[in-house]
């Protein structure tokens, strides 16, 4: 048995087989085939696997996102069955003696080039689809394809749940994983406040980061992941397995005790009532939020919708998702944050420029205002969804009055355009994230022009203490509860709350500190009105709040 230690960023226990996640890098294709017949068979197998995967995605999208999104996958299937394209690939193998990989690469690239040369937006889109399907086939041609493991085709036992290991995961990797097959995550690198760690907490998946001893050779072995203790055991003996199985049962019992708190108020003994709402990153989290008795959604990180794809989602696709979210919680409020892209939340198709300091660069509201077409598309989708429930629109990382007023103007223009088009638009509230010291300093001016504040402590901490939240070396500074860093942070929270209350608007916290029980009392003493946390943290925090007495 091997024991490896890491840093826990999402608690819980997982027992199961381990898989090493290779990442998305591609192996360059060898040009010449040794056996042409064998290459043709490999091509056929890969094509079948790719079609199966697209069918799976089609069905999943149809169920979760609606017909509009699902049609993308139907088009992909047609492309994988395109006779002309397939004939071109087969010829390259049969007549010219190329490998399946090389033939796919060449034929699909030529087709994409032809389509994008037609100077037509629709054909340009199709060219992107061709490249997408080229990648699918290349992935399927690789024997050990993690994409296939997690999406249900092409591997020996594809749907078997597993603990996934990797050097590191980008949020865009995690958001694409099939949750039903995901028991836990362990990485060599990574940090506590990275968006990947937050995603794991939101999904309720146990996760360790900075676990230096894991390696590719672990693939296929059995492991116990104890993310509460920060340990992963490879090849556990019987006794260890039995111990953890019984611990899992006890945890289950502890969770059912918390169920008694459902329907009860999150109120201190002296009568201070806090709204407990949920952070989510996809419509798949809505159930967990409801199960946890959330009083609404305090932060829907819409950018994950943008990361779980290979192009910017259309207005219709976004509208379907937002509508589903507001309808699921109506009449309770669902706060959807406009896309917070940049830093670690990026993916290839966005073609973001490389920045020396991305956290100080074109991210969040800056990105949106620099890409008005994309922003307008999202605002229109949000406004259309407002007709179906109680919607709050939240703008990330507002640091100046002009960013707020520019966004308000765009919202107003989108609303007027929709009404002119005869689209139903409801009412909504507009909030801003307080994530920079600049926002705290001008909180009075900002509060006069919006309906609520939501304090993003993850970024407020990063920008207040000048500490990169994704740098492993900074982790220990984020950890030291009660040190001067927290004093500076708590003082800013108090300032923002006071400014909000002076203008009669509520102030909540949606950063990860909101879920740290050791800080709950301090946050309540700052007079916050709302805590928005991952669904799994709601009932434990309600328990904590009900035990507090702020008179003491
Ligand atoms: C925050 O910064 O605290 C926050 C909630 O936003 P994100 O973690 O998505 O940057
Ligand atoms: Mg933030």
Domain shared by 308 and 395, yes or no: yes
Cα–Cα distance for residue pair 154/164, rounded to 1 Å: 18
Question: In the listed set 141, 175, 193, which residue is the last one of a domain according to the structure?
Answer: 141
In this structure, what CATH number is given to the domain that contains residue 180?
A: 3.50.30.10
Domain shared by 299 and 389, yes or no: yes
Is it the case that residue 226 has pLDDT exceeding 90?
Answer: yes
Model confidence over 161-200: pLDDT tens digits? 899 999 888 777 787 788 888 999 999 988 887 888 888 9
Between 522 and 199, name the one with better pLDDT.
522
Domain shared by 64 and 113, yes or no: yes
| Beta strands in 159-295, from DSSP E residues, in sequence order | 162-166, 182-187, 207-209, 222-226, 231-234, 275-280
- Nearest to residue 401, comparing CAs of 436, 443, 360? 443
In this structure, what CATH number is given to the domain that contains residue 124?
A: 1.10.274.10
**Residue whose entry in the numeric block shows the structure tokens 């509201």:** 365
Is it the case that residue 146 has pLDDT exceeding 50?
Answer: no
Q: How many domains does the chain have?
A: 3
Domain shared by 368 and 226, yes or no: no
Q: Domain for residue 186, yes or no?
A: yes
Instruction: Determine the distance separating the centroid of ligand 2 and the alpha carbon of 453, expressed in angstroms.
Output: 13
Domain shared by 397 and 359, yes or no: yes
Question: In the listed set 91, 110, 141, which residue is the last one of a domain according to the structure?
Answer: 141
| pLDDT of amino acid 25 | 44
Catalytic residue of the set 98, 195, 211, 450: 195
Q: Ligand 1: which of 277, 459, 528, 537 to mutate, most ligand atoms within 8 Å of CB?
A: 459
| pLDDT of amino acid 481 | 56
Query: CA 502 → CA 189, 447, 448, 505, distances in Å?
Result: 43, 9, 9, 8
Cα–Cα distance for residue pair 534/206, rounded to 1 Å: 13
| pLDDT of amino acid 483 | 65
Cα–Cα distance for residue pair 511/335, rounded to 1 Å: 14
Domain shared by 299 and 344, yes or no: yes
Domain shared by 71 and 137, yes or no: yes
| pLDDT of amino acid 23 | 60
Cα–Cα distance for residue pair 414/419, rounded to 1 Å: 9
Q: Domain for residue 247, yes or no?
A: no
**Which residues line the pocket of ligand 1, CB cutoff 6 A?**
198, 301, 340, 435, 456-459, 510-511
Domain shared by 210 and 64, yes or no: no
Q: Ligand 1: which of 280, 285, 301 to mutate, most ligand atoms within 8 Å of CB?
A: 301
Q: Is 370 a catalytic residue?
A: no
Is it the case that residue 542 has pLDDT exceeding 90?
Answer: yes
Q: What percent of the chain has pLDDT over 70?
A: 92
Range in 50-64, 135-149, 505-519 the model is least confident about: 135-149
| pLDDT of amino acid 412 | 97
Q: Where are the alpha helices (DSSP H) in 234-329?
A: 238-258, 286-291, 303-307, 315-329
Question: In the listed set 106, 122, 141, which residue is the last one of a domain according to the structure?
Answer: 141
What residues does 212 pair with on adjacent strands?
none
| Residue 429 DSSP symbol | E
Residue 283: phi, psi to the nearest 5?
A: -60, -20
| pLDDT of amino acid 89 | 94
Domain shared by 539 and 421, yes or no: yes
Q: Domain for residue 456, yes or no?
A: no
Range in 154-158, 180-184, 296-300 the model is least confident about: 154-158
Q: Domain for residue 454, yes or no?
A: no
Q: Domain for residue 451, yes or no?
A: no
| pLDDT of amino acid 527 | 97
Residues, CB within 5 angstroms of ligand 2 (ion): 435, 456, 459
Tokens of 152: 């249900």
- Residue 442 CB neighbour total at 10 angstroms: 16
Tell me the residue range of the domain where 7 lies. 2-23+149-239
Cα–Cα distance for residue pair 328/82, rounded to 1 Å: 40
Q: What's the average model confidence in pLDDT over 101-108?
A: 91
Q: Domain for residue 449, yes or no?
A: no
Q: What's the average model confidence in pLDDT over 508-533?
A: 95
Range in 40-49, 67-76, 150-159, 164-173 the model is least confident about: 150-159
What residues does 345 pair with on adjacent strands?
342
What residues does 273 pair with on adjacent strands?
267
Domain shared by 58 and 154, yes or no: no
Is it the case that residue 401 has pLDDT exceeding 50?
Answer: yes
* Residues 6 or more apart whose Cβ sits within 8 Å of residue 218: 18, 20, 165, 234
Domain shared by 277 and 425, yes or no: yes
Model confidence over 336-375: pLDDT tens digits? 999 999 888 887 778 777 788 889 989 999 999 999 999 9
Cβ proximity of 384 and 319 under 8 Å: yes
Q: What's the average model confidence in pLDDT over 11-26?
A: 79
Between 414 and 179, name the one with better pLDDT.
414
Tokens of 488: 């500076």
Catalytic residue of the set 211, 339, 450, 510: 510
In this structure, what CATH number is given to the domain that contains residue 517?
A: 3.20.20.60
Of ligand 1's atoms, which has the minimum distance to the CA of residue 513?
3
Q: Domain for residue 272, yes or no?
A: yes
Q: Domain for residue 8, yes or no?
A: yes
Is it the case that residue 156 has pLDDT exceeding 50?
Answer: no
Model confidence over 463-506: pLDDT tens digits? 998 888 888 777 777 665 556 568 889 999 999 999 999 999 99
Is it the case that residue 7 has pLDDT exceeding 50?
Answer: yes
Compute the CA torsion angle 308, 314, 315, 321 (nearest 10 deg). Answer: -30
> Please, what is the average pLDDT of the chain?
88
Cα–Cα distance for residue pair 371/433, rounded to 1 Å: 19
- Residue 273 CB neighbour total at 10 angstroms: 11
* Residues 6 or more apart whose Cβ sits within 8 Å of residue 483: none
Domain shared by 406 and 536, yes or no: yes
pLDDT bracket for residue 148 (50, 70, 90): very low
Q: What's the average model confidence in pLDDT over 518-547?
A: 96
């Amino acid at each position: 048995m091997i024991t490896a230690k890491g840093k826990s960023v999402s608690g819980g226990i997982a027992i199961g087989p381990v898989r090493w996640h290779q990442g998305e890098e591609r192996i360059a294709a060898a040009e010449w085939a040794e056996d042409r017949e064998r290459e043709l068979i490999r091509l056929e197998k890969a094509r079948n696997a790719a079609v199966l995967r697209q069918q799976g995605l089609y069905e999943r999208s149809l169920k979760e996102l609606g017909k509009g999104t699902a049609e993308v996958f139907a088009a992909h299937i047609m492309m994988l069955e395109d006779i002309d394209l397939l004939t071109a690939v087969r010829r390259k193998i049969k007549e010219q003696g190329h490998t399946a990989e090389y033939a796919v690469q060449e034929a699909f690239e030529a087709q994409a080039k032809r389509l994008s040369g037609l100077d037509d937006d629709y054909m340009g889109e199709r060219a992107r689809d061709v490249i997408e399907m080229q990648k699918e086939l290349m992935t399927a041609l690789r024997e050990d394809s993690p994409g296939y493991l997690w999406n249900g085709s092409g591997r020996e036992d594809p749907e078997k749940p597993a603990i996934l290991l990797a050097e590191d995961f980008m949020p865009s990797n995690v958001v694409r994983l099939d949750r039903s097959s995901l028991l836990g995550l362990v990485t060599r690198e990574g940090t506590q406040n990275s968006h990947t760690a937050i995603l794991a907490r939101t999904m309720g998946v146990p996760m360790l980061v900075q676990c230096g001893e894991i390696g590719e050779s672990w693939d296929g072995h059995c492991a116990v992941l104890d993310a509460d203790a920060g340990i992963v055991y490879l090849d556990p003996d019987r006794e260890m397995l039995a111990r953890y199985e019984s611990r899992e049962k006890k945890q289950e019992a502890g969770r059912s005790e918390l169920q008694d708190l459902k329907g009860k108020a999150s109120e201190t003994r002296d009568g201070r009532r806090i709204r407990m709402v949920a952070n989510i990153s996809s419509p798949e989290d809505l159930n967990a939020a409801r199960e946890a008795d959330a009083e609404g959604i305090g932060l829907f990180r819409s950018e994950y919708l943008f990361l779980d794809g290979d192009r910017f989602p259309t207005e219709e696709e976004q509208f379907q998702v937002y509508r589903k979210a507001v309808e699921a919680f109506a009449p309770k409020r669902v706060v959807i944050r406009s896309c917070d892209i940049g830093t670690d939340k990026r993916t290839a198709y966005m073609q973001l420029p490389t920045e020396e300091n991305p956290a100080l660069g074109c991210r969040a509201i800056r990105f949106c205002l620099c890409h008005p077409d994309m922003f307008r598309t999202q605002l229109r989708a949000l406004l259309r969804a407002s007709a179906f429930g109680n919607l709050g629109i939240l703008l990330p990382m507002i640091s100046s009055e002009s960013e707020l007023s520019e966004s308000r103007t765009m919202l107003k223009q989108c609303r007027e355009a929709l009404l002119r088009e005869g689209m139903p638009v409801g009412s909504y509230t507009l909030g801003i994230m307080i994530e920079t010291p600049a926002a705290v300093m001008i909180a009075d001016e900002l509060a006069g022009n919006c309906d609520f504040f939501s304090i993003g402590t993850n970024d407020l901490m990063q920008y207040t203490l000048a500490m990169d939240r994704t740098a492993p070396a900074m982790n220990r500074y984020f950890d030291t509860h009660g040190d001067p860093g927290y004093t500076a942070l708590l003082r800013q929270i108090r300032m923002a709350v006071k400014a909000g209350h002076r203008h009669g608007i509520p102030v909540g916290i949606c950063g990860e500190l909101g879920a740290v029980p050791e800080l709950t009392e301090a946050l309540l003493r700052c007079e916050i009105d709302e805590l928005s946390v991952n669904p799994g943290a709601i009932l434990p925090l309600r328990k904590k709040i009900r035990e507090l007495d702020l008179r003491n």
